[in-house]
Amino acid sequence: MEIFETLADPSRRRIVEALRGGERQVNDIVAQAGIAQSGVSRHLKILQAAGFVSVRPEGQKRFYALEPDPFREIDAWLADYRKLWEARLDRFGAALEKRKDSEK
């Protein structure tokens, strides 16, 4: 559940969205996410500590990128719920078809 707490913050979600396109420097994230540089830096540290983001130093520059493992963990957690809702939607679809056929 710690993963969901990390992503609960809208600023961190905007940073994650900014990083979906690939590696970015802080200034690029600031521009894309619309968050002040100090806020981006603070949230990047939190995302990095939670395993969502990695940093690659290149000289004085730092490049941030998403890490796939936490997203896989979220996907695995959601899989059971996805199956539940898909089954319900399948039953609903079948009921609609049955009703549509009986109206003909």
pLDDT string in tens for the chain (104-residue length): 688 999 999 999 999 999 999 999 999 999 999 999 999 999 999 999 999 999 999 999 999 999 999 999 999 988 988 888 888 888 888 888 888 888 87
Q: How many domains does the chain have?
A: 2
Is the same domain home to 60 and 81? no
Is the same domain home to 60 and 73? no
Is the same domain home to 59 and 95? no
Is the same domain home to 73 and 61? no
Is the same domain home to 75 and 50? no
Is the same domain home to 45 and 78? no
Is the same domain home to 80 and 58? no
Strand order in the sheet with 24-25: 24-25, 61-66, 53-58
This prediction has a pTM of 0.78
pLDDT of residue 1: 60
Q: Domain range spanning residue 10?
A: 1-66
CA distances from 78 to 4, 5, 31, 46, 92 (A): 12, 15, 32, 23, 21
